[in-house]
């Protein structure tokens, strides 16, 4: 059974490794450059994220191992929150960890006064789209573009 909790400094190394895997898995999707403008890699900055009150970082733990994480930014003045990153390692997929992370996130941001929870997904990332849809989150905006260079 997974335990979902807010991340602590002791989780930084594990989350950093998972983030590497997350962005490696996104490398073949269109829109990655635009995604990185909105949600850049955190890299060595996870400690600062954990300490910053506008962010919440949740981890899914089984035993002593972190198998997934979710990073959400809370915009208190707008009463909304944006899931910036969510990733579950291959060994824990299809076990409901992604849904548990979103469920915990939803509870926490609702308690902060948020009335809207949004998430980001790249075109073609069916796994992410399906995860969001299972959490009753539907597409709100599609951005189309053309390189003019």
- Band of residue 58 on the pLDDT scale cut at 50, 70, 90: very high
Which residues make Cβ contacts (< 8 Å) with residue 92, sequence separation at least 6? 2, 60, 62, 67, 68
Token readout for 11 is: 């989780």
Structural domains of the chain ordered from first start: 3-134 (3.40.630.30)
Distances in Å between the alpha carbon of 25 and those of 8, 19, 32, 55, 85? 25, 10, 11, 23, 13
Determine the pLDDT at residue 94. 87
Determine the pLDDT at residue 140. 85
Who wins on pLDDT, 109 or 37? 109
58, 70 contact by CB (below 8 A): yes
Task: Report pTM.
Answer: 0.94
């Amino acid at each position: 059974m997974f335990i979902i909790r807010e991340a602590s400094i002791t989780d930084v190394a594990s989350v950093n490794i998972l983030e590497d895997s997350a962005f490696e898995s996104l490398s073949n999707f269109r829109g990655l450059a635009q995604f990185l403008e909105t949600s850049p890699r955190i890299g060595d900055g996870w400690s600062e994220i954990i300490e910053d009150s506008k962010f919440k970082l949740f981890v899914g733990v089984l035993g002593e191992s972190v198998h997934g994480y979710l990073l959400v930014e809370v915009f208190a003045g707008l009463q909304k929150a944006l899931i910036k990153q969510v990733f579950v390692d291959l060994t824990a997929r299809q076990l409901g960890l992604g849904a548990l992370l979103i469920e915990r996130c939803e509870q926490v941001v609702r308690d902060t006064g948020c009335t809207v929870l949004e998430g980001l997904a790249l075109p073609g990332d069916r796994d992410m789209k399906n995860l969001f849809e299972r959490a009753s989150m539907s597409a709100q905006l599609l951005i189309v573009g053309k390189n003019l260079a």
